[in-house]
A and B are shown apart, each in its own frame.
Chain A
């Protein structure tokens, strides 16, 4: 169990206590076919029990699926363990049976779902999630859980959510600020300007390993197991033949042949046993880890997107700032001009050197044409993208100006409007930035910790897997050896006799 202090307080419900205080193991004790009375369609229900307590509930596969999805939406930055895959279309076509009728598949699902629940329970964050506890609660309807918070208040886009614990902000729920239109959403192809080197490394590695596991390792180990199964069947046939053979012979030879038959039968049983053990103790963990690699890919992608989001917010904020600055500057200029005009009228003799003023205005890159007439001071709408040089641009801008001069009745009001809007936008963006930046930092830390934790878990799993593989083979060799030794003994005795 984890010693790591989670940021969330525990809900301290009964399930939580059962899981964490008493450190119980979750068992899936059975799988039974059930049918909903109204529709009549049957499904397999898996019975879940915690430790030796009486707490037992039942859930079907689709509920597991929905539960897992909920977890990934609630905690997009955490590595949520995988569940056994759905029967793909290809499998349907090949086998033409539904999973509920396929006993070995049901058994496999039982095993893998049990592993899933226990991995979730062991996870320092996920294990404490109350949604998880409600999933395990007996008598609790899953659709109720789905339709109540926090699941009901989740945004569709996880980027619109705050994950870490922050003051004044509710986590894991729809956040108004982040959902505003002003917040940009990064596209998948966005390149980070300032990427985090650690995570870059992780991303590359995960990519490679995910690929390798699914395409290479999983396939080759599956082939071995399948071939062993075929061999077991061959041995069964051969054993039967030998038994028949021994009946046709007499005396010591018949005895020897019978022993061969027994040895071959033993090969059949033990090879079959080996296949089953390998499936459960090796093939399934490999499958899980191949899935894990894909999951980690997703989680890293999420963090990448969050990072992108922060960068884009910053960018937008800076741009808006620049815009605002320009607007304010123009506003100031307009004011000054106004004042200058008024002063000029009242103090006629005070000959202000308009040229002087003009000169100062010359430095203003945004000065287009300065008109003495205050009421006709027109200032171009400052283009935030900077000076547009070039012939055609000049024409367009000239045309634009003319149009604006026609349309814009009150340029000052527009400008003030724009200033207001910019200020508001900036406010929102700043707020968002204030939320997302620390969020990103927290996510990154949490994710790195989870990756480290997972790495340890993975090594542990691999160790167990490899040891199991070796032990299964040792057992197989020893058992069959016993039968063949007996055969050897008998045959040797036979050779002494005439």
Chain B
């Protein structure tokens, strides 16, 4: 698979840039068989995706009517893989492990392998290139984020770059960078076991009537998973900390942070080195020009000096090329990885949020229960401190004073409390489920993240090594070529060559 353009990456989707009047559209087409489930469930793996949904229940919507009801009433902390479709138990996460049944999905996850799925298996064999603009990518991103809140959705390139201000939106450099970023985006989606199957993704990749399709898709997303909710939660609990931080997740957070730190330093140093290498290229070019000038003055060795100057120039050009590739392939990769780390951290924070919800609700529940106890058995102290409950006492006295029967008041209060407690209990169970489901998914996500990280690091290092190797090989050849010319300079006769 390829990107039309300068860079050949073995990727699932290819992008072609098309310029149009007000905005840039990207041609996207799935060159291998895109695995996205159709609504008609003729895909053998449909069942499998259902069981995935089983785990983070309210948030996974495939619009599959055959899914079971969303709410689960037992604490669903099932760490073992899929219970339902027993024969498929091995493949809870589509991993690079190849099993014959899901051969097609493995293609997408490991784009580097040459496994091409059997084309007869799918109907959408002829992938038509589609055109998408940046806004469409934004839509896809938010759709996936809402659908799969527990998943780390790969980040998009920044919208507001300096180029907008400079008015340089259509410069080839900017567009190239964007193209690469969007390619990464799609690559990562394709590698992700869940995101690749999403309806949104499919619509994005295949729909010829994108305008209408994507709007109808938006409607399918459950109202509970609205963006405002997430923001609201974040704001309200911005300063609250979870009471029982789970060690695993803390470790995850730490490892991501460390990775980010390292990547940041590397990025910073590279920016500096990049600039310095460009300056060096200029210096070598100037030096070549000086030698060229000298060749005009020294008539004895004009030709040799001229060739030496040419050599210097060729060397400096090779250096510039290497610096460019280094910037585009390697430096860019570091940017992407950093953005991905950010997205991962966001998800971890969301997970913390869920746990927080659960803990808070538990707290309320506990308080309510305590109060009920207190009302049932006045006088007995249930507080840890064992102090008198002033409020109740005062309320009692007040009621006495007003002539309201203490008993009646108490009974009323009890029933209210009871209702509240029941409600809270339900909520607590719900948030517990949510939190746990989320946590489990997050753990899987972290796995995906780790794998992606390793893969991308390898890619980057390889690109880095390659461009350097090319440069040094070229350099050796360039300089070796001029050596015999120089060695043939004779002290008395100079070049000995006819002045060319």
Contacts and interface: CB of A to CB of B under 8 A. Distances in A.
A70 to B, nearest CB: 30
Contacts of A263: 465, 468
Contact of B112 (A456, A476, A495): A495
A212 interface: yes
Interface string A349-381: 000000000000000000000000000000000
Interface string B381-425: 000000000000000000000000000000000000000000000
A221 B287 contact: yes
Given A228-B280, A256-B457, A470-B479, A459 B462 contact: no
Contact of A244 (B262, B301, B457): B262
B43 to A, nearest CB: 26
B272 interface: yes
Interface in A222-242: 223-224, 227-228, 230-231, 234-235, 237-238, 241-242
Interface string B241-280: 0000000000000010011001001100110110011011
Contacts, number: 158
A456 B277 CA distance: 37
Contacts of A469: 308
Interface string B466-484: 1011001101100110110
Interface of A: 205, 208-209, 212-213, 216-217, 220-221, 223-224, 227-228, 230-231, 234-235, 237-238, 241-242, 244-245, 248-249, 252-253, 256-257, 260, 263, 455-457, 459-460, 462-463, 466-467, 469-471, 473-474, 476-478, 480-481, 484-485, 487-488, 491-492, 494-495, 498
A250 B462 CA distance: 18
Interface stretch (B63-71, B130-138, B217-225, B489-497): B489-497
A256 B458 contact: yes
A459 B489 contact: yes
Contact of B457 (A212, A237, A253, A455): A253
A484 B291 CA distance: 31
Contacts of A456: 491-492
Interface of B: 96, 112, 255, 258-259, 262, 265-266, 269-270, 272-273, 276-277, 279-280, 283-284, 286-287, 289-291, 293-294, 297-298, 300-301, 304-305, 308, 311, 315, 454, 457-458, 461-462, 464-466, 468-469, 472-473, 475-476, 479-480, 482-483, 486-487, 489-492, 494
Contacts of A462: 298, 301, 305, 489
A460 B491 contact: yes
The 9 closest A-B pairs by CB, nearest first: A481-B472, A477-B475, A463-B489, A488-B465, A460-B491, A220-B290, A477-B476, A245-B262, A477-B472
Nearest to A457: B491
Contact of B301 (A237, A459, A467, A488): A459
Given A248-B262, A462-B489, A477-B472, A238 B273 contact: yes
A64 to B, nearest CB: 28
B476 A481 contact: yes
Q: Specify the main secondary structure of chain B where it touches its partner.
A: helix
A209 to B, nearest CB: 5
A249 B454 CA distance: 10
Given A223-B287, A257-B457, A459-B491, A473 B466 contact: no
Given A248-B259, A469-B308, A476-B475, 10 more contacts: A224-B284, A231-B277, A252-B454, A459-B491, A459-B492, A467-B483, A470-B479, A492-B462, A495-B458, A498-B96
A462 B490 CA distance: 11
9 contacts: A217-B293, A249-B259, A466-B489, A478-B472, A484-B468, A484-B469, A485-B469, A492-B462, A495-B462
B435 to A, nearest CB: 29
Nearest to A205: B297
